[in-house]
């Protein structure tokens, strides 16, 4: 598009050229040509529309307009053109009026095209993502940023800030999104895909459509909050009606695939596990395929609102098919074990379940029958036949269940009501005292409770029930009350029997027999039709309560006696003296005397505790037998029980103390000391091993004889047996000593202690053998040796050697350990060392004296010889 330029010379001034008629005429002709060209171009551009339904077509349109109008606008701005316009304005102002209007329109439309192209170009990247993005997720990610960009265009643009421009653009964007969704949700492709993948694609498509609308309204709020006076008050129906319809179609498609998946994933695996007939599974697969086949071969666009009625018809048919099929499969699969509410009984629950399925399918078929076109189709007739067969089977199933229940109820209920209240697991003729394992149980059959519940639900279902069943059902509260009280009573009874040990059961034999007599009527005479059930429960409860009180009293007294016995059993009969000054220990006699003295003190306490036991038993006698003699025949076995317990406690008292004493003997902690001495030329212990062993045995005997202070009771009583005179001068007191002393455990421990003490003393004696190397000091006959030396008169060197030897012995002894600790004995070696040293010194003194005498004798002899020699000179 190029403006035609004038051929005349325009080099002179405007005012001069405006006065030249030839020039003005030529320029007028040229201006008319320009006006026609610009008018034609403007008309063409204004008539142009976007070439396509998408938003990118609108951008292309404005770019084309901008290009065309920019070419003309740039030419108008040329100096030559401007000079022509000035000359014509100077020469003929009335002529240029029309041209100026055209030029003004050109400028206005050019600015509009330029502004629109510039603003819409900011949307191009987002719109291309909508149009050609690789996946539906790209569209979802693009929508928020696209709407934000549209909001900026609305605010900044001089053209797209009006409804008439923005609404068509939003429509085109909606169309683009809808088109992409249609391509994603292509039915022929979807039904060839995996069900999970198809559901995912449908969900993504539906989410994208919903997101466009949601983000649109979010942007509307942002526009209002931005302070702009121009709000987005667009026609929502115009923008989103078609998209909302597409959302509904997507949801329908999702439901189709969901139901299909459930049919495959729920029914087929269940059939696989409950049937070995593969034909049933294949038949179900075929029926599922038949249900969904119309969806795969559609002859119309499901997303078009023009075909909404066709789609609704198809979905209704699908729902009817699915409902009938699902109900049929549920019914067939669960016939043997129908699902029911927790509160429903088996038979009424099964009938209720069957009726709920029947009502569900009937409701569906009612709506199905209202659509004549659906019912008239081949598939509709087929579905109706399936429905009629299923309903017939349900009715037959309900009738069979009901008649079976009624016949069994009429037969079993009279028999169940004849059951006794209680049953007992042991022989009923044997007393409880000899059959403590006897266990009473409630004999209320669960079938009665079930019949009651079945009866109530059968009446709710409108089914007639047997008269006896209705009567029993009306008495439900009474039976519940009876069974609850009987259970509580039996729980108390069994708990009470478990609380009593064998001795207590024998002690309370009379009371237990009385309770047994009352309970016997519950499993011998009374039935669930009897009228005395309440009185029976009351009598049992009162009797059990009295026995419970008595048992608790017995337990309290038993605990007091057990406390005394525990105190006796835990008594320490071997208390040892403490060392003096930390390192000096008592001698053996002092040690064992101390133990005996302390035992005497403990015995007084023990006897005092033992003497208190009969008083407890007399108190128990008063409560059980209403006497306080201490020799009630009713308590004879109970006295014997506690006397045996006392024997066991005393045995444990002695055994534990002997065990503790044995542990003390073996521990490496010295408690007493003895000495190693030289006695009559022998190295020995003082006191010697035999004496220490006797002391140990006596200490053990003293410990066992503690039981002599525990006097036995007279037979059948808890009274101490008085001393018995067997001879004129001999009185015997019967105590536990004779029994305890013969206990294998006591004998074993006593023997073990004596053996360990013997080994210890043998070890200490063996340790003294090293001192025997000095035995020449006291075994040699010192007088004889000295006489021999006096006669032999050995040289001084001999005496020097002997003196050195004895001096070395005396020094060596002082360097030996003078204390030896082994187990519970400390051996003092100082007396022995002192004796050895004294013997060595004695030898030194004797040899020194002999040497002195021999030297003096030799000296005197020498002196005599000297004197003889002098005189002879």
Q: Is the dihedral of CA 554, 558, 560, 561 positive or negative?
A: positive
pLDDT tens per residue, range 500-524: 888 888 888 888 989 999 999 998 9
Report pLDDT for 426: 62
Cis, peptide link before residue 687, omega less than 30° from 0:
yes
CA distances from 43 to 38, 99, 438, 575 (A): 8, 15, 115, 132
Distance CA(527)–CA(214), nearest Å, equals: 74
In sequence order, what are the residues at sequence separation of 6 or more whose Cβ sits closer than 8 angstroms to the Cβ of residue 137?
Answer: 204
Distance, in Å, from the CA atom of 135 to the CA atom of 194, rounded to the nearest integer, reads 18
Which residues neighbour 590 within 8 Å (Cβ) at sequence distance 6 or greater? 577, 672
Name 618's Cβ contacts closer than 8 Å, sequence gap at least 6: 628, 629, 630, 718
Cα gap 286→301, rounded to integer Å: 26
For the chain, the domains span 14-196+212-225, 246-416, 418-569, 588-767, 777-872
Tokens of residue 853, six digits: 């005498």
Q: Which of 180, 117, 106 is nearest to 143 (CA)?
A: 180
Q: Which residue has the tokens 């089977």?
A: 393
CATH architecture of 418-569: Up-down Bundle (1.20)
Q: Give the list of residues 6+ apart from residue 243 with CB closer than 8 angstroms, or none.
A: 174, 177, 178, 209, 212, 213
d(CA 117, CA 183): 29
Partners of 819 in beta bridges: 828
Question: What pLDDT, on a 0 to 100 scale, did the predictor assign at position 264?
Answer: 66
Query: How does DSSP classify residue 425?
Result: S
Let me know how long the chain is. Answer: 873
Distances from the Cα of 650 to the Cα of 539, 595, 604, 617, 799, angstroms: 45, 19, 15, 19, 71
Confidence (pLDDT) at 664: 92
Tokens of 648: 């066991």
Q: Which residues contact 862 (CB under 8 A, 6 or more apart)?
A: none
Residues of the chain with pLDDT under 50: 266-277, 427-435
Query: In this structure, what token pair is assigned to residue 480?
Result: 């519940």
Structure tokens at 777: 């000091």
**Could you give the CA distance from residue 765 to residue 759 in angstroms, rounded to a whole number?**
10
pLDDT at 616: 92
Cα-only R_g, the chain: 63
- Cα 618 to Cα 366: distance, rounded to the nearest angstrom: 89
What is the pLDDT at residue 287? 63
Buried b (16+ CB within 10 A) or exposed e, 584-603: ebbebeebbebbeebbeebb
Give me the residue label for tokens 């059993």: 569
Residue 487 in tokens: 């259970």
Report the C-alpha gap between 59 and 169 in whole angstroms: 10
d(CA 322, CA 364): 10
Element (H, E) at 731: strand 730-732
- Using CA atoms, how far apart are residues 189 and 623, in angstroms rounded to an integer? 95
């Amino acid at each position: 598009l190029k403006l035609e330029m004038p051929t005349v010379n325009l080099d002179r001034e405007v005012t001069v050229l405006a006065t030249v008629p030839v020039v003005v005429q030529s320029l007028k002709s040229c201006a008319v040509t320009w006006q026609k060209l610009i008018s034609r171009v403007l008309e063409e551009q204004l008539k142009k529309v976007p070439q396509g339904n998408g938003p990118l077509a609108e951008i292309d349109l404005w770019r084309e307009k901008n290009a065309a109008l920019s070419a003309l606008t740039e030419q108008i701005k040329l100096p030559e053109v401007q000079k022509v316009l000035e000359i014509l304005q100077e020469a003929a102002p009335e002529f240029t009026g029309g041209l100026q209007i055209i030029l003004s329109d050109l400028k206005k439309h050019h600015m509009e095209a330029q502004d629109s192209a510039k603003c819409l170009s900011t949307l191009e990247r987002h719109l291309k993502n909508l149009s050609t993005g690789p996946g539906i997720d790209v569209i979802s990610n693009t929508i928020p940023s696209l709407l934000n960009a549209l909001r900026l265009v609305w605010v900044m643009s001089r053209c797209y800030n009006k409804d008439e421009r923005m609404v068509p653009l939003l429509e085109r964007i909606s169309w683009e999104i809808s088109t992409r969704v249609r391509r994603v949700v292509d039915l022929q492709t979807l039904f060839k895909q995996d069900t999970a993948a198809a559901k995912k694609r449908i969900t993504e498509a539906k989410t994208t459509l919903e997101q466009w609308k949601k983000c649109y309204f979010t942007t509307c709020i942002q526009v209002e909050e931005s302070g702009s006076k121009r709000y987005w008050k667009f026609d929502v129906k115009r923008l989103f009606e078609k998209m909302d319809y597409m959302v509904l179609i997507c949801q329908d498609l999702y439901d189709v695939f969901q139901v299909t998946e459930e049919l495959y994933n729920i029914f087929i695996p269940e059939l696989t596990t409950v049937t070995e007939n593969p034909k049933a599974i294949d038949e179900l697969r075929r029926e599922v395929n038949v249900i969904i086949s119309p969806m795969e071969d559609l002859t119309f666009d499901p997303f078009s609102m023009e075909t909404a009625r066709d789609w609704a018809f198809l979905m209704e048919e699908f729902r009817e098919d699915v409902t009938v099929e699902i109900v049929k499969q549920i019914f067939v699969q669960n016939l043997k074990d129908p699902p029911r509410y927790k509160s429903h009984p088996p038979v009424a629950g099964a009938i209720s379940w069957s009726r709920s399925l029947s009502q569900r399918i009937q409701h569906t078929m009612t709506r199905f029958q209202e659509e004549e076109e659906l019912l008239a189709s081949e598939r509709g007739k087929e579905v109706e036949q399936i429905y009629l067969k299923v309903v017939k089977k349900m009715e037959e199933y309900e009738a069979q269940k009901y008649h079976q229940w009624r016949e069994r109820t009429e037969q079993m209920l009279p028999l169940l009501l004849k059951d006794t209240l209680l049953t007992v697991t042991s022989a009923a003729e044997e007393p409880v005292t000899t059959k403590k394992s006897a266990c009473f149980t409630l004999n209320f059959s669960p079938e009665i409770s079930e019949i009651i519940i079945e009866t109530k639900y059968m009446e709710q279902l409108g089914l007639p029930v047997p008269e006896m069943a209705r009567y029993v059902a009306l008495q439900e509260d009474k039976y519940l009350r009876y069974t609850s009280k009987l259970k509580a009573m039996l729980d108390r009874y069994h708990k009470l029997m478990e609380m009593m040990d064998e001795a207590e059961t024998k002690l309370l034999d009379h009371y237990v027999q009385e309770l047994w007599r009352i309970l016997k009527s519950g499993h011998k005479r009374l039935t669930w039709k009897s009228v005395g059930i309440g009185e029976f429960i009351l009598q049992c409860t009162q009797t059990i309560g009295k026995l419970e009180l008595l048992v608790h009293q017995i337990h309290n007294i038993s605990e007091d006696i057990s406390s005394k016995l525990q105190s006796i059993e835990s008594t320490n009969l071997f208390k040892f003296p403490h060392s003096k000054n930390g390192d000096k220990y008592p001698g053996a006699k002092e040690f064992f005397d101390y133990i005996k003295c302390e035992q005497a003190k403990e015995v007084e306490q023990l006897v005092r505790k033992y003497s208190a036991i009969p008083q407890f038993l007399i108190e128990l006698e008063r409560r059980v037998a209403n006497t306080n003699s201490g020799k009630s025949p009713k308590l004879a076995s109970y006295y014997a029980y506690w006397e045996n317990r006392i024997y066991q406690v005393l045995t444990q008292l002695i055994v534990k103390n002997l065990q503790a004493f044995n542990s003390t003997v073996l521990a490496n902690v010295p408690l007493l000391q003895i000495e190693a001495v030289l006695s009559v030329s022998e190295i020995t212990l003082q006191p010697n091993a035999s004496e220490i062993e006797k002391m140990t045995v006596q200490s053990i005997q003293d410990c066992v004889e503690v039981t002599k202070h525990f006097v036995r009771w007279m037979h059948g009583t808890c009274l101490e047996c008085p001393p018995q005179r067997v001879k004129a001068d001999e009185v015997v007191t019967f105590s536990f000593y004779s029994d305890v002393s013969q206990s294998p455990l006591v004998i074993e421990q006593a023997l073990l202690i004596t053996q360990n003490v013997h080994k210890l003393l043998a070890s200490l004696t063996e340790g003294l053998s090293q001192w025997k190397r000095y035995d020449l000091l006291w075994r040699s006959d010192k007088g004889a040796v000295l006489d021999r030396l006096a006669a032999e008169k050995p040289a001084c060197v001999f005496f020097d050697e002997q003196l050195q030897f004895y001096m070395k012995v005396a020094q060596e002894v002082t360097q030996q350990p003078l204390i030896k600790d082994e187990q519970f004995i400390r051996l003092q070696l100082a007396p022995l060392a002192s004796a050895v040293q004294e013997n060595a010194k004695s030898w030194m003194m004797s040899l020194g004296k002999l040497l002195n005498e021999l030297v003096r004798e030799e000296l005197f002899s020498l002196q005599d010889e000297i004197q003889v020699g002098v005189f002879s000179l």
